[in-house]
Structure formats: C-alpha cells, structure tokens
Amino acid sequence: MYESKKASSASLAATVGTVVEWFDFAIYGFLATTLAAVFFPNSSGVTALLETFAVFAVAFALRPLGGVFFGSLSDRIGRRKVLAITVLLMTFSTGLIGLIPSPETIGIFAPILLTLARCLQGFTAGGEYSGAATYLIENVDPKKRATHGSKLSMATFFSFAIAAALVWAIEFSIGKEAMVAWGWRIPFLMAVPLGLIGWWIRTGAQENVRPASERPEAPIKQALRTEWKMMLRVGGFISCTGLSFYIFTTYMTTFLRSTVGLEGTLVLAGNIIALSMAAIAAPFVGRAIDKFPRRNVMAFATLSTVIMAIPAYIIAGQGTLTASLIAQVMLGIGAVTANCVTSVMMAEVFQEVTRGTSAGITYNVTYAIFGGSAPFISTALVSWTGSPLAPAVYMIIIALFAFTASRFIPETSPVFVTSTPAIKAPKVMVKQG
C-alpha cells in the first residue's frame, strides 16, 4: 500500500529540489548573450556566443561523471541523502558564478573560473534528474507513476520559466548596459537562498531504504555488466528528449535574438509564456501517459518532433512575438511529451538494485552528447550553412534515430503488461538522518 503521506513527501522533495537545481542551471542559458559580452568582450558576436555555448557544453561533459558517482552512491546509501547533497553543491556553484570578478579585473582567470563553476554545476546536475525520477517512482502507486513523474517535468519547465522571467524583469528594469555591467550577477546570487530551502525540504523527506545486506558493493560494474544493452536502447530515445528540451528551453531564445533579430525583451516574454504553458501541460501529459502504452507515447514524442521542426523554424523566422510563441509551442509538444515519458520509463526499465547507477549513466551520457551540445551545434550550423532551418534538419535526424531506438525498448506500463524489469521499492521506510 502506497501511503499518501509517503507519496506526498517524495513528490515535494523531488519537485521542489528539481525547481531549485534547474533554476540554477537554466540561468546561464538565458544570460548567454549577456555573458558573451561580459566574459568574451574581445570576440565578435557569433564567436563570443559560440565561446559562451562551448562553456555551456563543457558543463555537460561532467554530467556523465556526476551521474555515475551520484547514481552509484544512491544505490549504496539511499536516494534522498544524495539528492540533499546535490542541491547544496548546485547552490554553491551557482552562487560562485555570481561572485566572479570581471575580465577587466582578473583577465583570463574570469572565463576560467566561469568554466570551473559550470563544470561543478554539470557534475552536480548528473545526480539530479535521474536521481529524483528514481526516488519518486519508487515511492508512489505503480499505476500513477507517470502522473507523479510528470511533476519533475513540470518542475523543470517551471524552473526555466522562473529563470527566464527573472532575467527579463532585471533587464527590463535596469537596461542592457547595466545588465552587462552588474545586473547579470543578481540571478546567480538569488539562487543561494532558494537552494537552502530545497536542501531543508529534502533532508526532511521520507524514503524506502534497502537493508545494508541487500545493497550492491559495486553498482557500476554490476550495472554495466547486466544492463548495457538496455542503456543503449534507452539512451537512443533520450537523445530526442535532451535535444528537444534544450532547443525549446535554451537555444530558441538565442535563435530568435541573434538569427531572427527579435528584440530581447520580446524574446524572453515569449519564452516565459511558452515555458509556463509547458509546465502547466506536463501534469496532464503525465496522466495521459498512465493510460497509454509507453512505447506509443515515445512514438508520438519523436514523430511530432519530426513533423513540427521545419514549420516551427519557418514560423519563428517571421520575427514577431506571436510567431515566436507559436513556434515554441509547436516544438514544445514533442519536448514536453518526451520529457514526461522519460522520467517514468527511465526508472521502470532498470532493475531496482542498480537503478540509480543505470539511469544516471544513461540519462547523463545522452544529455551530454545531445542536450548540452544542442545550442552550440545549432548556432554553428546556422553560421556554417547560412540557413536558419539547419537546426530543424538536425532535430529531424535525431528524432528519427530516437524513434527507431524506442522500438527496441520493452513496454513497462503496469496497465498493459503484467511483468516489468521491476519497480520493487524496499519494504522498510525511514526518515534518514
């Protein structure tokens, strides 16, 4: 029997912590053009932007290491303890960015410190989403896994909306010059008190904990030996999840600003609306996923991305707020659906004993390859080809690859199958100290 108190505790800890961590991580993306001017003042517009997105992508190179480290740690000491650690580390690294002196003060060390702080963010992020999904899915009613899992997607999109709204409000209030001079620091510093709230909530959460005698001694080795085929299949699908998510949440603001030429405040306003709509839609998508086979949902997510990509970029090129909003909503259909189904499917397909490790490796390696590189590759494709539709073609190719991979993932919905790889939450529930 899955007690409502336990499910509520798990949902609150996972959701609030996810909002805090991804707010911290998202700020960088929404300040990309500003940070390019701050940390790479001697580079041209496109070059500075590519350098800024290169730092963005470098952070993702550390995510697989974070996924391995925190995933295996959660299999040994428990999910909740690890999630409390990650929110503290993310808070520290984000606050650090807000305190970095300007290049005029410390020269080359400014972008170096920025890169190091982003690397710590990336390493920490490796333990967040897959860890939160695993923790949440193990502590709720099996027939409502997607309903609860979609709260993580809602929290993620909501955190990006908050970050976008904050950046827009600050820039609107103080102007572009002040934003470059000092205003960019405000969002990073505001993350500190938010992070402490997230840590406090997670330390008080409840969790089902395996007895010490049943915990794996070498979860990484065991996961790679027994789950490597499933990791490849799931990673193939998550390629679309990662790419569509970061195109929708991060790159489109840069595309509309730098390529289309839409005014910055209008870009952020449209993005805030689109992200808020995605956050609102996520719980409804989650409820729908609980009523349909997971494989059908994965097919819808990937094929809708294939269908919507080129029309969305064409519409975005019209250069109006309305057009930008329509384009983002079109891309958001696949992004929201893929994100919601990933949060539940990723935890369902792996065995419980090494689930944290398997999910952490798969999710973060894939996001490092396809998610973190999305803004950089998309910006480079437009620059190299001269075509604003080049990123759309890239999306289509990856989405078709993800669709193919999804056909090799077994059905795991308890509504449509009687046997799954095992969601076996431990019987002993404790509030860990």
Whether 238 maps to a domain, the answer reads yes
Asked whether the beta carbons of 84 and 203 are under 8 A apart, the reply is: yes
Whether 426 maps to a domain, the answer reads no
| Of 410, 398, 417, the residue nearest 345 (C-alpha) | 410
- Rounded-to-integer distance, Cα 199 and Cα 47, Å: 38
What 8-state DSSP symbol labels residue 208?
E
Whether 132 maps to a domain, the answer reads yes
Got the DSSP string for 130-191?
A: HHHHHHHHTTS-GGGHHHHHHHHHHHHHHHHHHHHHHHHHHHHHH-HHHIIIIITHHHHHHH
Asked whether the beta carbons of 358 and 233 are under 8 A apart, the reply is: no
- Rounded-to-integer distance, Cα 340 and Cα 153, Å: 6
Q: What confidence score (pLDDT) does residue 276 get?
A: 94
Q: How far is CA 236 from the centre of its chain?
A: 16
CA pseudo-torsion sign 190, 192, 198, 200: negative
C-alpha Rg value of the chain to the nearest Å = 20
Asked whether the beta carbons of 22 and 159 are under 8 A apart, the reply is: yes
CATH code for the domain in which residue 161 is found: 1.20.1250.20
Give the DSSP H or E segment for 429.
Answer: strand 429-430
Whether 320 maps to a domain, the answer reads yes
Burial class (CB in 10 A: 0-12, 13-18, 19+), 294: buried
Whether 174 maps to a domain, the answer reads yes
Helix-helix angle 374-385:390-406, to 10 degrees: 130
Give the DSSP H or E segment for 207.
Answer: strand 207-208
Asked whether the beta carbons of 35 and 187 are under 8 A apart, the reply is: no
Tens-digit pLDDT profile for residues 71-101: 888 888 878 888 889 889 989 999 999 999 9
From first to last of its 433 residues, the chain has per-residue pLDDT tens of: 445 666 677 778 888 878 887 887 788 877 877 888 888 777 666 777 777 777 767 777 888 888 889 888 888 887 888 888 988 998 999 999 999 998 888 988 888 898 889 889 889 888 887 888 888 887 778 888 888 889 999 999 998 888 888 988 898 899 888 998 999 999 999 989 988 988 888 887 766 666 555 556 667 888 888 889 999 999 999 999 999 998 998 889 889 988 999 987 788 788 899 999 999 999 999 999 999 999 999 999 999 999 999 999 999 999 999 999 999 999 999 999 999 999 999 888 988 788 888 888 999 899 888 987 888 899 899 989 999 999 999 999 999 999 999 999 999 887 666 555 544 544 444 444 4
Asked whether the beta carbons of 60 and 373 are under 8 A apart, the reply is: yes
Q: Is the pTM of this model over 0.85?
A: no
- Rounded-to-integer distance, Cα 5 and Cα 11, Å: 10
Whether 150 maps to a domain, the answer reads yes
Q: What confidence score (pLDDT) does residue 418 get?
A: 55
CA–CA distance from 431 to each of 80, 203, 204, 341, 428 (Å)? 9, 9, 7, 29, 10
Q: What confidence score (pLDDT) does residue 280 get?
A: 96
Q: How many domains does the chain have?
A: 1
Whether 429 maps to a domain, the answer reads no
Q: What confidence score (pLDDT) does residue 256 get?
A: 92
Whether 216 maps to a domain, the answer reads no
- Rounded-to-integer distance, Cα 157 and Cα 348, Å: 22
Domain housing 163:
4-207+227-412
